[in-house]
Amino acid sequence: MDDKLKIKLLIGDANYPMIIDRADEEVLREAAKRVNNMLNMYRETFPNLSKEQYLAMVALHNGAMNVQKEGMNNTAPFNERLKRSVGLIEEFLDKEK
């Protein structure tokens, strides 16, 4: 069975033919839908910009969201606070003995 699929994604005013893994179809279609929704939002909010400017704004927004999510996945500060808390609890319990 061939795991590749030919699809066309409409982004903005252009069709993008792609050959993708079948497993990626749902994610790519949802991503294209979100990009189009954001493009439409920027077109309504700033009606006199060029297509390139709208696409740049969408790219910047998505890039900022990725950076923000990367920061949320950084558990190092939480782990450090947890270690300090465990240390304080152990210290307290040792004094209670």
Mean pLDDT of 10-38: 95
Mean pLDDT of 80-89: 84
Query: DSSP string covering 16-71, please?
Result: EEEEEEGGGHHHHHHHHHHHHHHHHHHHHHSTT--HHHHHHHHHHHHHHHHHHHHH
Mean pLDDT of 33-59: 95
Q: How many domains does the chain have?
A: 1
CA 44 – CA 9 distance, rounded (Å): 22
Q: What is the pLDDT of residue 38?
A: 95
pLDDT band at 48 (very low <50, low <70, confident <90, very high): very high
Q: What is the pLDDT of residue 94?
A: 82
Q: Is residue 76 within a helix (H) or strand (E), and if so which, with residue range?
A: helix 76-96
Share of the chain above pLDDT 90, in %: 63
8 Å CB contact between 14 and 35: no
Highest mean pLDDT out of 44-48, 75-79, 91-95: 44-48
8 Å CB contact between 21 and 3: yes
Q: What's the pTM? A: 0.69
Token representation of residue 59: 């790219």
Q: What is the pLDDT of residue 1?
A: 52
8 Å CB contact between 29 and 9: yes
| Boundaries of domain holding 63 | 4-96
Phi-psi group of 12: left, alpha or beta (phi > 0 → left; psi -120 to 50 → alpha; rest → beta)? left
